[in-house]
Each structure stands twice: as structure tokens, then as C-alpha cells.
Amino acid sequence: MKPYAFRFQFLTNTLVGSFLGFRSLLLGICLVFSVTVSWAQQSPVSREQLEKEKKENLQRIKEAQRILSETSSRRESSIGQLNAINEQIQARESLIQSISQELELLATQINELGGVIVALEEDLVNLKEEYAHMVYATSKTSNSYNRLTFLFSAETFNQLFRRIKYMQQYSQARKNQVNQIQKVRETLINQRETIESKRLEQQVLLDQQVIANQDLIALKTKQRALIRDLSQKEKQLRKEVAKRRNDVQRLERLIAKLIKEEIEESAKNKTENAVALNTSKEELSTSFASKKSKLLWPVNSGFISQRFGNNPHPVMKNILVPNDGVDIQTNQNAQVKAVFDGVVIAITPIPGPGNSKAIIMQHGEYFTVYSRLKDVNVRKGQAVRAEEPVGMVYTDSDGISALQFQIWHNQQKLNPEPWLQRR
């Protein structure tokens, strides 16, 4: 092979090598991108969702602690205290689960980033070797005489033109190789910084997990002690359950009677309370039904301490406590608000001791009941808008401030929990 033909072939090989180096860089960048996409696609829960859940659980813990402090000021042991502690335990367990999921997510990301860094380091070594070969080859043909000799030894004009183009491409290939090396270096630095940042986040989460576990252990110890104290008052607790059943039955009959009378009165006179809200009964019913899972909460803060239906007693085994709605344990003097536009059809005293009251509001074919109020801000027949205050929650002798909230569809009791928006 002629010397210049050899150089021509060498230039061709160098350009091919440069292309392979560029391909290597491209593969490295694609790998970084694919890892980022995989975090979004493979993870069942995103970091943003887990952070949101953490904030929600921390808010639940804060509210339950405030309610517990108020309840504890009245007596040493009560069901209200136990409800607040149980709520804190559930929130702590959810918080720990969110932290664990976030730690798993970070561990996966760190492992994948480690693989990216290894691949980028290999690319950098390969690119540097290719560049060294190019520099070495250039040094052999660096003087003007050799370049001119190489060009003018061409046998045809077309061959001369191709050699000029190859020399231009060779010069550009060297510049590209330098740019590729710099890009890989920058990407590698960024990935190393990212992995270090995620390791710091991981350590913060581990610290949070340790504190949350310690708090959970302390709460469960307090829960066991409270249950032990309450168990010694079984006779008193049984009386309270019997009274609760009696009160629930009496209130249920009263609400059913008032709703039935309102339905009959509306049918008899062909009048609709919904007129006060400038809408028809059918439209109001449809609008209320569309709000399932989106209804406002009747109080700003608090938690569901007793759910719809028959609930296991928190202390006594094999004892069920009935509920026609949900009990929302909240702060003393908490303001109670209407959950939807409606009309007040009744304000009635609640059967049993105490001076608490109940408000019944109509929303077309639907009715909402706000029970255990100490003060009422509305009157019968008044049109009320959503979020408008209707009263203030009642606090019993045990220091428990719990609103009883019910939803009825005509004369059918509904579980209010699926209707309320997630908090």
C-alpha cells in the first residue's frame, strides 16, 4: 500500500472511530434519560405523592394531639382520649409506611444512578483513548509539507476533492471528540452530585423513620395503659353503651319521623323548600348526588372517631356500638358548617341528658343531620349555603367534642364517609 493511501485509510478509520465515540456518548445520555423515565414509570407511587401523604399524616397527628390535650384536661381516662390516641397511632403507622416507601424509591434510584456513573466512566476512558490516537496520528502529519504532499499526490481531481473533505472532517472530528469528552465529564459530575444529594435525603428519611418508630412505641404504651384503666370500669362502660344504643334508636325514630313529615308535606302542598335557593328539587338532588366523595367536611379539623354501622367497642370485646352516621371528634367550640346548599327543615333537642341539639337540612331528596350541637345559628325554613356556619359543637362531661353527622336519601340512611372529600 502507498504511504499516502495508508494515511487516507488511517483518516477514514479515525473518522469511523470518532463516530463510534459519539455513539458511545449518545448511549450514555440515553441511559441517563432512560433511568429518569424509569423512575417515573416503574414506581407505583411518586415522591411527590409520598411527600403529600407525609404532610397529611403529620397534620392528622397534630390535630389528634390537640384534641387529646383538650380531652385529657377533664379526666384521667376516657374513650375520647383512647379515640385520639388510636387516631395518632394510625397516622404514625401511615407516616412510617410512607417513609419506608420513599426509602425504597431512593434506594432504587441510587442503584440505577450507580450503574449510570459506571457506564459514563467507561465512556470517558474510551473517548480519551480515541482522542489520544487522533492526536498521535495528527502529530505524524502535522507539517504543511506532508499535508500538501498528501493532497497533490491525488491521481484525479475527484480524489483530491475527497482528500480535502476528509481532512476537513478529520479536523472537525477532533473538535467533536473534545466536546464529547467535556459533555461526558459534565454529565458524570452532575450524576455524582445527584447521587450524593439522594444519599443525604436517604439519611434524613432514616432519621425521620427512627423518630416516628420511637413515637409509635410510646403511643402504643400509652394506649395499653389507657385500655387497662378503662377495663377496670367495665360496669360503667356497659351502662354507657346501653345508653348509647337507646339514644341512637330514639334519635333515629325522631329524624325518620321529621323527614317523613317533610316529604308528605311537600307532596301534599306541591311546594318545595328548594325554591328558597332558586333551584328545583330535582336539580338540587342531582347536584348533591354528584358531590359524592367531594362533600365539604362539617368541621375544619378533627377525625372520624366512630364509623357508620356497628362498631367494635374500643375496650370491651364482643360489644358493638351502633351509629347511624359518623362521629367526628374535634376541638372544643368548633364551628359546624353546612356541607351543601340546603334548607333547614328542623331544629330539635337530642334525646338524653345534656342540652345538645340537632339540625336537619334538606337538599332535594337528600337530607343531612348535624347532631350534638350546643349552639345553633340558623332557624327553621332558612336557606343555607355551603360552608355557612349552622352551630357550635357540644362538649360532654368527659371533655369529648364530637359532632354526629348523618346523610339520608329520603328515608334511607347512608354511610357519610364515602361522601366526604379526602383530607
Distance from CA of residue 330 to its chain's centroid? 23
* Look-up of cell digits 372517631: 305
One-letter amino acid of 207: D
Helices H / strands E in the chain, number of each? 7, 12
Q: How many CB atoms lie within 10 A of CB 385?
A: 11
d(CA 297, CA 328): 9
Distances (CA, A) of 76 to 68, 227, 230, 241: 11, 12, 10, 20
Domains of the chain plus CATH, in order, are: 3-231 (no CATH), 253-419 (2.70.70.10)
Q: How many CB atoms lie within 10 A of CB 36?
A: 15
Tens of pLDDT along the chain (423 residues)? 444 443 444 344 444 444 444 444 444 444 444 544 454 445 556 777 777 777 877 777 777 777 777 776 655 678 888 888 898 898 888 888 888 888 888 787 778 777 777 776 776 677 677 666 666 665 555 544 455 565 556 567 676 666 666 666 655 665 666 666 677 677 767 777 777 887 888 888 888 888 888 888 888 888 888 888 888 877 887 887 887 788 777 888 888 888 888 877 776 665 555 445 556 778 888 999 999 999 999 999 999 999 999 988 888 888 888 899 999 999 989 999 999 999 999 998 886 656 789 999 999 899 999 999 999 999 999 999 999 999 999 988 778 899 999 999 998 999 999 999 987
Confidence (pLDDT) at 341: 93
Confidence (pLDDT) at 226: 85
* Look-up of cell digits 355557612: 388
d(CA 337, CA 298): 5
Contacts (Cβ under 8 Å, ≥6 apart) of 166: 8, 11, 12, 15
Distance from CA of residue 171 to its chain's centroid? 55
Confidence (pLDDT) at 10: 39
Distance from CA of residue 176 to its chain's centroid? 46
Say which DSSP state 395 is in: B
Nearest to 47 by CA among 202, 213, 193: 202
Nearest to 66 by CA among 81, 77, 52, 76: 81
Asked whether 405 and 371 are in contact (CB, 8 A), the reply is yes
Per DSSP, the residues of 268-292 read: HHT--GGGGGTS-HHHHHHHHHTTT
Q: Which three cell numbers stand for residue 149?
A: 504532499
Asked whether 388 and 337 are in contact (CB, 8 A), the reply is yes
* Look-up of cell digits 350534638: 372
Confidence (pLDDT) at 178: 62
Q: Which three cell numbers stand for residue 114?
A: 450507580
